[in-house]
Amino acid sequence: MSELIKSVLKCDEKSDLRQFASELRSSEKRYLLRNDIERAFAEYCEEHQKPSYFYHSSYLGKLLYYTQEMILEDESICMIVRPKIASQEVYRIDEDLTVEPMTVQDLLDLRDRFVDRHHPSEGDVLELDFQPFYDYSPTIRDPKNIGKGVQFLNRYLSSKLFQDPRQWLEMLFEFLSLHSYNGLQLLINERIKNRRELSERVKEAIGFVSQRPDDDPFDNFRFDLQEIGFEPGWGNTAVRVRETLEILDELIDSPDDAVLESFISRIPMIFRVVLISVHGWFGQEGVLGRPDTGGQVVYVLDQARSLEKRLQQEFHDQGLDVLGVHPKVIILSRSIPEAEGTRCDERLEKVRGTDNGWILRVPFREFNPHVTQKWISRFEIWPYLETFVIDAETELLAEFKGKPDLIIGNYSDGNLVAFLMARRLNVTQCNIAHALEKSKYLFSNLYWQDLENQYHFSLQFTADLIAMNAANFVISSTYQEIVGTPDSIGQYESYACFTMPDLYHVVNGIELFSPKFNVVPPGVNEAVYFPYKRKEDRIPANAERLEEMLFTLDDPSQIYGNLDDPKKRPIFSMARLDRIKNLTGLAECFGQSPELQERCNLILIAGKLRTEDSTDSEEIAEIEKLYHIIDQYELQGKVRWLGVRLPKADSGEIYRVIADRKGVFVQPALFEAFGLTILEAMISGLPTFATQFGGPLEIIQDRVNGFYINPTNLEETADKILKFVSKCDEHPHYWEEISERAMERVYSAYTWKIHTTRLLSLAKIYGFWNYTSKENREDLLRYLEALFYLIFKPRAQGLLQAHYQR
């Protein structure tokens, strides 16, 4: 990138750079983000009548395209340039066009000065740097392989381990000897005494099972194999046992990373799984639409069901039925004593659709009952998590009758709990962020002190740093969640380098090229969300009831607005009312387009109708804003706003009812980490318009099976929807074409079976490598504990003291 700057300075464009910088200084804005830079340069090109190529193809245009931020000082400009994914360079350009590179520390000091919180003395700001802990771990080189961590780790560590056959066989023998369930030995027993005997006995066992019929049940020859040295876990039939032993035989004689992954995926390693989702109203009914609930609750419940189902299938295939082995999956959440008619105050609740899946709710300790008896916002939950871990550990050990084999954290608070619990129990930890708030709120770290009373970002961002570095592996729904796109920064990437003035500087917050990152998108509950064409699976009475509710029912208690013409094509959206979900932005988009109003109705399902029914400040503000927009654009008769909480079965049928009327689904979020509602709409057959900011970029293929929108550009969004509606009117089959492709897209890539098969495979392989590589993570974990006890905990105690005053 320094070459591109040199190219600008060596040609006539250096005068344009000087002029552009001068004009930027004349404006009031001193800190420009990428959108600001693009807009300002476009205005510069227009005002100075530059040729059309100049904006995109000139050296200066290319340099500004790669520039993510510009900070204007009195006599210089700081340019933060991102020449490629997961890479950042910083330069200071003085008025005389002298260019010098800046260090990360220089940049963080400059950002501090920008908010007037810079301390002139040196060494007075805590610097956090996690890079040394990754120096001795393998790292991915090519950015396009980020998110494929397990494949890289497998190849790297296999090549190292396989170089010493003696050590490799010793490790493999020890690893196979470890496995047991409730005191019952699995895989191999004491009759196989060492690595040499392992190789010999494997060949003997292959010869034995090869003589039996392929479908001969394992129970028929279980004790014969036991005499040779093999316990249950190899398979449920002769052919399955033979296949697994042949893979092991190949692994012993000619080890290969692909064969290793195939073998590890087949053996029983995981029996008890805990999914942690602490904040919000966690339940199976009456919670969706409440603050801090939504996609995450649906995700975790569906994941729990799918995990149990997948483990049951694995245990059957592995021949563990003879031992009566059954998986157990527990969702750990908090108990909310004032449950407002929900079941969130019940200690134990069976997960519907499972044999042994449970929601275990553990109460927060009662510090101030006016606070702890009620729901606590995800932004204020932090003081209660450490004691929650201590209490929940006792409950979990009792329910499992032992330790879990895998801990999966969800969201920032759940991931911090996962770290503390995995540390106490020495269990494999998996993190799933769902959304990292730092990316959703611009300048949230820079102005954290101004936002602290409302959002407590100092606690959240510190918790994120601890959990993401502690995790054995991290699951993201998309590639861009980790490192963004060529022109946007990823959620995890935003933690690589940032300042929280007066608190600390993060010089290197996370190794983006670490093999701990894996992209494993979620699926859709296919029992609830399925194509509108499957009439045989739909209940006509439910469809009729929901159709009436959506379009004609007069019920002021839960519905605002009556439609002048209910037969118009519906534009539908469903989300909670908060600023990021941006339903008010969609309403304003609709209000600004008389053409859309003429041809369509807007149907919104969005939380509550009245401010007095909410205790969430952001939701209250959005309710007031939505009423204002409806009045401002005179949308009465054109908009229906349903303040209802739907049972899951109804939420699936709602999409299909909209599809019956050839409607469209719009997801207008300002940022969306993934977008489960997008999958739900697409699998139902609804043509879907979704935000271009975040995960939808990897779900939808634009104009093939859906459409991208820029929710900040209301005119462009309205125009895209209008063009689609017009094309559908001109070509009646066009709606069906997009509908069919949307359904195909989900079934090919976004099912829970694909997700959980991959998740369990990852958990086993990372567990295997943690054992065999003897990776010493103690130094990293001690560093993280210091961060927890010296930064996080005192601030959490401060928040707790504030809660005492309520």
Confidence (pLDDT) at 233? 97
In whole angstroms, how far apart are CA 434 and each of 413, 431, 474, 697? 11, 9, 11, 16
Question: Counting runs of H as helices and runs of E as strands, what totals does the chain give?
Answer: 32, 25
Same domain, 465 and 594: no
Nearest residue to 302 (alpha-carbon basis) of 378, 356, 354: 354
Confidence (pLDDT) at 117? 53
Same domain, 333 and 202: no
**Residues 708, 710, 714, 719: is their CA dihedral positive or negative?**
negative
Q: What is the pLDDT of residues 407-447, one digit of tens each?
A: 999 999 999 999 999 999 999 999 999 889 898 888 999 99
- Report whether pLDDT(591) > 90: yes
Confidence (pLDDT) at 287? 87
Q: Calculate Rg over the CA atoms of the chain.
A: 29
Residue 108 falls within a domain, yes or no? Answer: no
List the beta bridge partners of residue 81. 67, 89
Same domain, 198 and 243: yes
Q: What is the pLDDT of residues 462-479, one digit of tens each?
A: 999 999 999 999 999 999
Distance CA 171, CA 771 (A): 9
Confidence (pLDDT) at 123? 57
- pLDDT class of 403 with cuts at 50, 70, 90: very high
For residue 486, give the CATH number of its domain. Answer: 3.40.50.2000
Same domain, 583 and 665: yes
- Report whether pLDDT(775) > 70: no
Q: Please give the single-letter amino acid code of residue 408.
A: I
Estimate the crossing angle of helix 457-470 against helix 411-425, to 10 degrees.
Answer: 50
For residue 187, give the CATH number of its domain. Answer: 1.20.120.1230
- The number of distinct structural domains making up the chain is 4
For residue 24, give the CATH number of its domain. Answer: 3.10.450.330
Structure tokens at 498: 């940032």
Q: Please give the single-letter amino acid code of residue 577.
A: L
DSSP secondary structure of 679-745? HHHHHHT--EEEESSBTHHHH--BTTTBEEE-TT-HHHHHHHHHHHHHHHHHSTTHHHHHHHHHHHH
Residue 365 falls within a domain, yes or no? Answer: yes
Query: Do 293 and 287 touch, CB atoms closer than 8 A?
Result: yes
Mean pLDDT, to the nearest integer, of 107-113?
93
Same domain, 320 and 399: yes
- pLDDT class of 559 with cuts at 50, 70, 90: very high
Q: What is the pLDDT of residues 509-529, one digit of tens each?
A: 999 999 999 999 998 889 899
Bridge pairing between strands 89-94 and 76-81: antiparallel
Residue 143 falls within a domain, yes or no? Answer: no
Confidence (pLDDT) at 122? 55
DSSP secondary structure of 627-676? HHHHHHTT-TTTEEEE-----HHHHHHHHHHHHHTT-EEEE--S-BSS-H
Burial status of residue 22 (CB atoms within 10 A of its CB: 0-12, 13-18, 19 or more): exposed
Same domain, 482 and 548: no
Structure tokens at 475: 């699951």
β-sheet with 559-560: strand ranges across: 559-560, 639-642, 600-605, 569-574, 664-667, 688-691, 707-709
State the average pLDDT for the chain: 93
Query: Do 218 and 317 touch, CB atoms closer than 8 A?
Result: no
Query: Do 111 and 501 touch, CB atoms closer than 8 A?
Result: yes
List the Cα angle 269/273/279 in 5-degree steps. Answer: 155
Distance CA 656, CA 665 (A): 11
Backbone angles phi, psi at 605, to 5 degrees: -110, 110
Same domain, 466 and 411: yes
Residue 794 falls within a domain, yes or no? Answer: no
263: left (phi over 0), alpha (psi -120 to 50) or beta: alpha
DSSP secondary structure of 144-178? GGTTBHHHHHHHHHHHHHTTSHHHHHHHHHHHHHT
Same domain, 335 and 479: yes
Confidence (pLDDT) at 25? 87
Same domain, 545 and 517: no
DSSP secondary structure of 511-537? -TT-TTEEE----B-TTTS--TT-GGG
Residue 96 falls within a domain, yes or no? Answer: yes
List the Cα angle 748/749/752 in 5-degree steps. Answer: 110
Residue 280 falls within a domain, yes or no? Answer: yes
Range(s) of the domain holding residue 219:
163-254
Residue 118 falls within a domain, yes or no? Answer: no
Mean pLDDT, to the nearest integer, of 58-63?
94
Confidence (pLDDT) at 2? 76
> Which secondary structure element, helix H or strand E, spans residue 252, and what is its range?
helix 238-253
Same domain, 288 and 175: no
Entry pTM: 0.86
Strand stretches in 421-466, DSSP E:
428-432
Same domain, 299 and 248: no
- Report whether pLDDT(177) > 70: yes
Distance CA 587, CA 577 (A): 12
Q: Please give the single-letter amino acid code of residue 40.
A: A
Residue 152 falls within a domain, yes or no? Answer: no
Mean pLDDT, to the nearest integer, of 212-232?
97
Same domain, 283 and 298: yes
